Amino acid sequence: MALWNSRFKKSLNETALKFSASIDIDGKLYNEDIDGSAAHVKMLVKQKIVSVADGKAILKALEEIRKEISSGKLNFDWRKEDIHSLIEERLVEKIGERGSSRFLSRRKLSEADAAEAGKRLHTARSRNDQVALDERLFMRKEITRLIKLTRTLQKVLLKKAEQYKSTIIPGYTHLQRAQPLLFAHHLLAYVSMLNRDVERLNDCMKRANRSPLGAAALAGTTLPIDRNYTAKLLGMNGIIENSLDAVSDRDVMIELISACSIIMMHLSRLSEELVLWNSQEFSFAQFDDSFATGSSLMPQKKNPDIAELIRGKVGRVYGALVGLLTVMKALPLAYNRDMQEDKFHLLEALNTTKDCLNIASELLKNTKFNKDRFERNLDGDFSLATELVDYLVRKNVPFRQAHHIVGSVVTLCVDQKKKLNELTLPEYKKISAAFDKDIFKLLTARSSVQNKRSQGSTSPAEVEKQLRFWKMRI
Ligand code: ARG
């Protein structure tokens, strides 16, 4: 019979029970549920709401239940509705059995009292504040994992940046060649993006790690509980003050799924580049055979499925974000059963993001980059046109005019099917007298990168500075 069944003449219809059961999902939070209950009962004992002996019996049984679950002895029967009911029911059952044993009679407890101990655990608590607590404890653990995985990916990127420190690549905007970049600069951009992800997760942690416990159903309780004590026992940064807010809100969860969505968006951009770069057209990168797949029909194929799947799985996480936002939209305060759906979205987002972070690190570790191919055809390329503009600006030509002049140079090259370093000096001079023979040494990719001087630019010195900075931080 359900925990709440006392006022009903009938038990819940079986199809309705199956429909409303959530144990297949919230069962994953059993450790957090037990941790929360243990803290709760310690507080009840401290506040003399529950006797020391009852408290001990409850704590002991809770730990046994934890083992029963982890060893697979106690299975998740959907008839028990959710993990909270399952654990409480098992607790009452276990202590009830033991009430008549020598163990408790030695402690001079009356058998009847001892058997009742399990029924005292839920004093001054509702499943509403209980589930909100479990979720926060779970999120806390998962945030730590996400941060670790993100840090690992940053380290892989850093290592590659170190390895290909002098490699130059064509930098793109609109997927059109823009200006040369050091490959390390490109990789460090991802390190920096992922660092904001870590910051977002840390920030989310501050808000997640607050205790809603003691809010009871919504209004608090008449019993003399100590909310701060349970929060402290659980290592949380304090409580969520307003009891109604504590049980009604899921914004921290939405925040966490948003942080996951942004991580996934970053991973999708990395994946997309890897897919492109592994194409024969680009040939900038090559996945190790152990991270590529073939075709069932075309024997020559080497497909980038892993990167594509990371890109594809973003849909799950964005879906989870929109899913939970939609669950919460327009819900009146306080708890509504709709909110049980939250864990489905949370787990989907967390599992997918962790999986993708992990595989992205492995994939990248197992990718070789093709220095020669990256650097081929960069000298004299139109992606050096900006070097000429800056050259003219240094000769005091107003920028807009310089831009126009170099535009004419490019047009001439296009017409004559030449690269920038294939025009003659007289041809340059015909377009602008400000050009001199020293322009030719500007028309290599290496000099383009080397001549950058602004802070955070792709110059070897600045990239080295960034590399050192991140190596120290991560
Ligand atoms: N299984 C429920 C959930 O996850 C627990 C809270 C139930 N509360 C209630 N008032 N029915 O949301």
pLDDT, tens digit, 9 for 90 and up, residues 327-375: 999 999 999 999 999 999 999 999 999 999 999 999 999 999 999 999 9
CATH number of 5-119: 1.10.275.10, 3.40.50.1000, 3.30.2320.30, 3.20.20.70? Answer: 1.10.275.10
Check if 22 has its Cβ closer than 6 Å to any atom of ligand 1: yes
Q: What percent of the chain has pLDDT over 70?
A: 96
What residue owns the CA closest to ligand 1's atom 3? 340
In the prediction, which pLDDT does 7 show?
A: 84
**Which atom of ligand 1 approaches the CA of 26 most closely?**
4
Task: List beta partners, residue 168.
Answer: 182
In the prediction, which pLDDT does 97 show?
A: 76
For the cut 90, the answer to whether the pLDDT of residue 100 exceeds it is no
For the segment 12-40, the average pLDDT, to the nearest whole number, is 97
What residue owns the CA closest to ligand 1's atom 7? 127
Check if 33 has its Cβ closer than 6 Å to any atom of ligand 1: no
Check if 337 has its Cβ closer than 6 Å to any atom of ligand 1: yes
Q: How far apart are CA 388 and CA 371, in angstroms?
A: 25
Evaluate whether 409 touches 431 at the Cβ level (below 8 Å): yes
For the cut 80, the answer to whether the pLDDT of residue 101 exceeds it is no
What residue owns the CA closest to ligand 1's atom 5? 127
In the prediction, which pLDDT does 76 show?
A: 96
Q: What percent of the chain has pLDDT over 90?
A: 91
Query: Which residue's entry shows tokens 């126009």?
Result: 404
Evaluate whether 175 touches 457 at the Cβ level (below 8 Å): no
Three-state SS string across 68-85, please? HHHCCCCCCCHHHCCHHH
CATH number of 127-168+182-368: 1.10.3720.10, 3.30.565.10, 1.20.200.10, 3.40.710.10? Answer: 1.20.200.10
Choose between 144 and 298: higher pLDDT: 144
Q: How far apart are CA 194 and CA 178, in angstroms?
A: 24
Of 5, 89, 127, 344, which is best to mutate to test ligand 1, by the most ligand atoms within 8 angstroms of its C-beta?
127
In the prediction, which pLDDT does 102 show?
A: 41
Q: Which residues are catalytic?
A: 174, 295
Check if 321 has its Cβ closer than 6 Å to any atom of ligand 1: no
Q: How far is CA 341 from CA 1, 19, 23, 344, in A?
A: 23, 12, 12, 6
Q: What sign does the dihedral 374-379-380-385 (CA atoms) show? A: positive
Q: Which CATH superfamily is domain 376-473 in?
A: Fumarase/aspartase (C-terminal domain) (1.10.40.30)
Check if 128 has its Cβ closer than 6 Å to any atom of ligand 1: yes
For the cut 60, the answer to whether the pLDDT of residue 186 exceeds it is yes
The distance of Cα 138 from the centroid of its chain, to the nearest Å, equals: 14
- Separation of 343 CA from ligand 1 center, angstroms? 11
The distance of Cα 384 from the centroid of its chain, to the nearest Å, equals: 38
Q: Nearest to residue 34, comparing CAs of 54, 60, 56?
A: 60
**Which atom of ligand 1 approaches the CA of 4 most closely?**
11
The pTM (predicted TM-score) of the whole model is 0.94
| Same fold? 127-168+182-368, 376-473 | no
Of 2-11, 143-152, 230-239, 300-309, which gets the smallest average pLDDT? 2-11
Check if 131 has its Cβ closer than 6 Å to any atom of ligand 1: yes
In the prediction, which pLDDT does 232 show?
A: 98
DSSP state of 384: G
Q: Where are the alpha helices (DSSP H) in 278-395?
A: 305-328, 342-365, 371-375, 385-394
Mean pLDDT taken over the chain: 95
In the prediction, which pLDDT does 164 show?
A: 96
With cut-offs at 50, 70 and 90, classify the pLDDT of residue 113: low
With cut-offs at 50, 70 and 90, classify the pLDDT of residue 111: low
For the segment 186-211, the average pLDDT, to the nearest whole number, is 98
**What digits encode the pLDDT tens for the residues 153-173?**
999 999 999 999 999 999 999
What residue owns the CA closest to ligand 1's atom 2? 340
Query: Where does residue 419 rank: exposed (0-12), middle (13-18), buried (19+ CB within 10 A)?
Result: middle
Cα angle value 60/64/69 (rounded, 5°): 150
For the cut 50, the answer to whether the pLDDT of residue 219 exceeds it is yes
In the prediction, which pLDDT does 99 show?
A: 56
| Element containing residue 176 per DSSP (H, E) | strand 176-182
Check if 335 has its Cβ closer than 6 Å to any atom of ligand 1: yes
All structural domains of the chain with their residue ranges: 5-119, 127-168+182-368, 376-473
